[in-house]
Amino acid sequence: MADPDHNNKHNLSAAEKAHVIDDRRASSPNIQDSGSGKPDSVTYHEHAPSAVVDSTPEDRDAQVAARATLQNALHGIHKVQLLSEVDEFCTVHGLQDQQETFRKGALLAQRPGEWNDIEELTDSDKAAIEYEHKHKWSMSKDLLWVVAVCAIGAAVQGWDQTGSNGANLGFPQEFGIARGLDEPGGARDTWILGLVNAIPYLSAPIIGCYSSDPLNNVFGRRGAIFISAIILIATPIGMGFCKTWQQLLGVRVLFGVGIGLKGATVPIFSAEVAPTVIRGALVMGWQLWTTVGIVLGFAANAIVRNSGDITWRLQIGSSFIPAVPLALLVYFCPESPRWYMRKGRMVEAYASMRKLRKHEVQAARDLFYAYVQWQAEKKVIGDRSMWRRFSDLFTVPRIRRATLAASVLHAGQDLCGINTIAFYSSTIFVDGGASVEDALYASLGFGALNFVFTWPAVFTIDTFGRRSLNLFFFPLMAVSLLAAGMAFYIEEQRIRTGIVALFIYIYTIFYSIGEGPIIFTYSAEVFPLAHRELGQAFPDWVVRVLSVSERPTSPAGEICVLNPRPSGFYTGTNMLAFVLAFLFMRETKQLSLEELDQVFSVPTSVFINYQFKHWIPWAFKRYVLFQRHAKLEPLYHKEDIE
């Protein structure tokens, strides 16, 4: 059955952008429009277009599933036409002194795999490109600086989470909200404690994430990160001086705003400055360095454990520490070239890109290619307000598919149970029979494992891919979490504590290689430039809301997540997350941010049909019947991209 997405009058698809680019290939100055707001001819790039056009809608879907082509946006444009457009680009944007560089960059962008045959490139240019191909991890000093600053931003996020983890063992007693469920008023105290812990993860998506769009628009990526850092310096200190739970609740509302703003901005900044071939590894640095923050936060909790009545204040207030260097250092980074481009400040965009790449031809190549796609995108979507762009997340098919995929992935983070463990691991270990001190050290071990086993994902996320890692580890996480819950049936306390910790650690290892590193990488890269901030914000909102939904009940030992019944529930939700990812998550590895438009132009019905009719039979033959020569017909063909 044909996908109804094709009939949407605002269908922002790669096919439409291809039509815009095809107009340029034919040297036509204007897009031919039917009057409905979308081009007359909307087709997929395919190996056998005539066969698809002449077939039924059902046949077209099946053929698209096997022949959808990821095509270079500059493919097919005559060299004379391309160089003419480059000259016009340089003249319009005040880059005449870089005209020759951009000419070479455009030719390289058009034929990235044939760089050695481009006669306009000098020996020095070719040597730089060859070095880039052979040493993909070699980065400019400025790019390394951006990576470091984004790492600090992620560490802030991790430390923010773990400060409340240790403080949960102290502030409820001081504020009189520590009664158990079997005591009068215990249910009320449980809900208050849950609300205090949950409120940042309500204000983060509602205020923090969505404030990222206007703040990024006005202040840029660096400015938005700086503002979030100031908030995350002030609010932890404020929490440490609170005298009542009501005051703590109020400060944590503002705390959440900083978390949401930073969480929606840092991954986008990383994605926009990273080279395509290592974008996944660099953006997943968000998760890697979040785990560093978690370890540091747990370490701080343990260090101040014997500070008496102010222990919880030191624990919850210590998270301001990494926010200080974040605020001081962020303005030493170059701004995102794509942000400058969006503002029409092309001279500054090139200057920034030049800092982020080791050679001027690489900078010209990446900026011009992004510019071509951005211009095609603007012709289709026009100048939309923030609210219109927000509605596009659900009404424009290409963007809706990205929203669905990113939301499913973010929801999986909470469905898998990791958030509850991160916030309540100390409580979980105490419930398992550990002393308070031992629980803090056990939580430190949880954080350390999370950090150590995120490293393998750095080297696999751009080779095995986001989707493959995610699907492989979800079932393993489900089994290990179920085993941890079953360990609560063991009567011997020491054995019970050890086995609970063991399976939590195993679960953490699987999460750290699979779901964990992928989440923010994926949502930061799948949206068009005009929708990137809002697109990053909505999936983050999904996971925050899911986090909030469980916070009021988790703190009580009697209904803690890691006892047999709730563990069975989380085992089931892990498998639900696996199914949703299998159906809706598309692979994005080693594609430019602009080329991903074409990945999400394939209708959802076609994508799901492919998984059942092509991928599952192949996987059964390959991994169950061990037929080593079984072949999988690819969903996408990467023509003219390599």
Instruction: Report in angstroms the alpha-carbon separations of 628 from 59, 463, 620.
Output: 30, 20, 11
In this prediction, residues 417-445 reach a mean pLDDT of 67
User: Same structural domain for residues 519 and 576?
Assistant: yes
Range from 32-46, 306-320, 336-350, 376-390 that averages highest in pLDDT: 336-350
- Specify if 631 maps to a domain: yes
User: Same structural domain for residues 616 and 481?
Assistant: no
pLDDT at 402 over 80: yes
pLDDT at 126 over 80: yes
pLDDT at site 460? 76
Q: Mean pLDDT check: name the lowest of 398-407, 594-603, 632-641.
A: 632-641
pLDDT at site 608? 92
- High-pLDDT (> 70) share of the chain, %: 76
User: Same structural domain for residues 406 and 543?
Assistant: yes
For residue 17, give the amino acid letter: K
- Specify if 124 maps to a domain: no
Count how many domains the chain has.
2
> pLDDT tens-digit profile of 92-101?
999 999 999 9
pLDDT at 461 over 70: yes
- Strand, coil or helix: 186: helix
User: Same structural domain for residues 515 and 460?
Assistant: yes
- Specify if 112 maps to a domain: no
Please tell me the pTM assigned to this model.
0.69
Q: Mean pLDDT check: name the lowest of 4-8, 118-122, 213-217, 393-397.
A: 4-8
pLDDT at site 548? 57
User: Same structural domain for residues 524 and 626?
Assistant: no
Determine the Cα–Cα distance for residues 356 and 337; give it in Å rounded to an integer.
9
User: What is the distance, to the nearest Å, from the Cα of residue 520 to the centroid of all Cα atoms in its chain?
Assistant: 2
User: Same structural domain for residues 545 and 490?
Assistant: yes
Instruction: Report in angstroms the alpha-carbon separations of 431 from 201, 215, 424.
Output: 25, 43, 10
Domain residues for the domain of 547 are 392-601
Q: Are 158 and 322 in contact (CB under 8 A)?
A: no
- Strand, coil or helix: 562: coil
pLDDT at 409 over 90: no
Instruction: Report in angstroms the alpha-carbon separations of 53 from 56, 57, 66, 461.
Output: 8, 9, 15, 37
- Specify if 356 maps to a domain: no
The CATH number of residue 500's host domain is 1.20.1250.20
pLDDT at site 425? 63
pLDDT at 37 over 70: no
- Specify if 576 maps to a domain: yes
pLDDT at site 107? 93
Determine the Cα–Cα distance for residues 539 and 264; give it in Å rounded to an integer.
10
pLDDT at 323 over 70: yes
User: Same structural domain for residues 438 and 574?
Assistant: yes
User: What is the distance, to the nearest Å, from the Cα of residue 589 to the centroid of all Cα atoms in its chain?
Assistant: 13
pLDDT at site 353? 95
Beta-strand runs (E) in 358-480: none
Beta-strand runs (E) in 275-381: none
Mean pLDDT of all residues belonging to the chain:
77
> pLDDT tens-digit profile of 582-615?
999 988 877 766 667 778 888 898 899 999 998 8
User: Same structural domain for residues 503 and 627?
Assistant: no
pLDDT at site 426? 63
User: Same structural domain for residues 536 and 438?
Assistant: yes
pLDDT at site 243? 93
- Strand, coil or helix: 69: strand
User: Same structural domain for residues 551 and 626?
Assistant: no
pLDDT at site 309? 85
User: What is the distance, to the nearest Å, from the Cα of residue 324 to the centroid of all Cα atoms in its chain?
Assistant: 24
User: Same structural domain for residues 396 and 474?
Assistant: yes
User: Same structural domain for residues 562 and 615?
Assistant: no
Closest C-alpha among 131, 142, 529 to residue 353 = 142
User: What is the distance, to the nearest Å, from the Cα of residue 76 to the centroid of all Cα atoms in its chain?
Assistant: 33
